[in-house]
Amino acid sequence: MKKAIIASAIATVISVGFSVSAVAADKPKMEKCYGIVKSGKNDCGIPGANSCAGQVKTENDPKAWIFVPKGTCEKITGGSTKPISE
């Protein structure tokens, strides 16, 4: 009986590990995209301007960024993978 319980527990741990790996593999790589953020929708703070997500007051602030799937930013008008010089 103990062997059956142990075997069942090991099988459960292994299957959960595979499930987590499969979910992580499906998640796309993300990159920062600057210059396309709507007011109040930034993903992180901007040095010298604010210290937290969601505090950008200007639309399309060249220093504000959001995460987008890798390869998407350059397809968006005004988007840049590096902070935009003013």
What is the domain partition of the chain in residue ranges?
A: 2-75
Q: Quick one: DSSP state of residue 73?
A: G
Report pLDDT for 61. Answer: 84
Q: Quick one: DSSP state of residue 66?
A: E
Report pLDDT for 71. Answer: 94
pTM beyond 0.85: the answer is no
Give, for all 86 residues of the chain, the pLDDT tens digit: 777 676 665 766 676 665 555 556 678 899 999 989 888 878 776 665 556 666 777 888 888 888 999 999 999 999 999 887 75
- Mean pLDDT, the chain, rounded, equals 77
